[in-house]
């Protein structure tokens, strides 16, 4: 009888040692995209995002993030938004997404970034904070638009041209389900 109890306790210990905690993206999260043009620098903000992270032993094991293209807005108004949404092919590809493949050394996430129907494997450096009820990931990642077959938008008959590189800055807060 004692052997059975010991075996059950050991089995329970092993199973609980490999449990994952799941967290969902909170509305506290922020994501901006910063870029340049021949006239001025610009920033747009993602207003609608969803995602989750599964954590095991203080490391992400699963991570998905989706950003609604139509909810990426600038402070410069509807004209810039319309050009940006067209460049990102909003109608055909309404979401930008990231899916984790592997958490490498501390803070380096390897995964697939999907933008405008094109996917690229990327590595994104993050500062991650784990607590009992939340996971926070802060970082930034440079993206070349042409790597995703995106033609940089233009305005004023080609006089204003958006730069090929943008920087995505994020402060993602995931809260326990």
Query: What's residue 106's pLDDT?
Result: 78
Q: Is residue 60 part of a domain?
A: yes
CATH of the domain at 150: 2.40.128.110
Q: How open is the CA angle 27-148-88, to the nearest 5 degrees?
A: 55
Q: Is residue 13 part of a domain?
A: no
Residue 98 vs residues 4, 119, 131, 148, 154: alpha-carbon distances, Å: 46, 9, 23, 14, 27
Query: What's residue 16's pLDDT?
Result: 46
pLDDT < 70 stretches in the chain:
1-18, 158-159
The domain tally of the chain equals: 1
Question: Which three-class secondary structure string do you get for 34-93?
Answer: EECECCCCEEEEECCEEEEEEEECCEEEEEEEEEEHHHEEECCCHHHHHHHHHHCCCCCC
Q: Is residue 11 part of a domain?
A: no
For residue 14, list its beta bridge partners. none
User: What is the rounded distance in angstroms from the CA atom of residue 109 to the CA atom of residue 107?
Assistant: 6
Query: What's residue 5's pLDDT?
Result: 43
Q: Is residue 161 part of a domain?
A: yes
Query: What's residue 19's pLDDT?
Result: 78
Q: Is residue 14 part of a domain?
A: no
Q: Is residue 6 part of a domain?
A: no
Residue 136 vs residues 23, 25, 72, 139: alpha-carbon distances, Å: 10, 10, 21, 10
Query: What's residue 1's pLDDT?
Result: 52
Q: Is residue 58 part of a domain?
A: yes
Query: What's residue 152's pLDDT?
Result: 86
Q: How far apart are the first and last CA of the chain?
A: 38
Residue range(s) defining the domain that contains residue 147:
20-176
Query: What's residue 149's pLDDT?
Result: 94
Query: What's residue 9's pLDDT?
Result: 47
Query: What's residue 140's pLDDT?
Result: 97
How buried is 49 (Cβ within 10 angstroms: 0-12 exposed, 13-18 middle, 19+ buried)?
Answer: buried
pTM of the model: 0.85
Q: Is residue 96 part of a domain?
A: yes
């Amino acid at each position: 009888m004692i052997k059975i109890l010991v075996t059950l306790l050991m089995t329970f210990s092993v199973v609980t040692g490999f449990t994952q905690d799941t967290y969902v993206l909170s509305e506290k999260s922020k994501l901006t995209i910063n870029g340049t043009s021949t006239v001025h620098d610009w920033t747009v903000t993602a207003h609608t995002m969803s995602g989750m992270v599964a954590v095991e032993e203080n490391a992400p094991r699963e991570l998905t993030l989706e950003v609604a293209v139509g909810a990426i807005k600038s402070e410069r108004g509807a004209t810039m938004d319309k050009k940006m949404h067209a460049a990102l092919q909003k109608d055909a590809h309404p979401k930008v997404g990231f899916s984790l493949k592997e958490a490498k050394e501390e803070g380096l996430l390897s995964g697939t970034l999907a933008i405008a129907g094109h996917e690229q494997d990327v590595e994104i450096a993050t500062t991650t904070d784990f607590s009992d009820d939340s996971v926070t990931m802060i970082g930034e990642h440079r993206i070349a638009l042409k790597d995703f077959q995106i033609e940089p938008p233009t305005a004023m008959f080609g006089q204003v041209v958006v730069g090929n590189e943008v920087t995505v800055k994020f402060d993602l807060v995931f809260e326990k389900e």
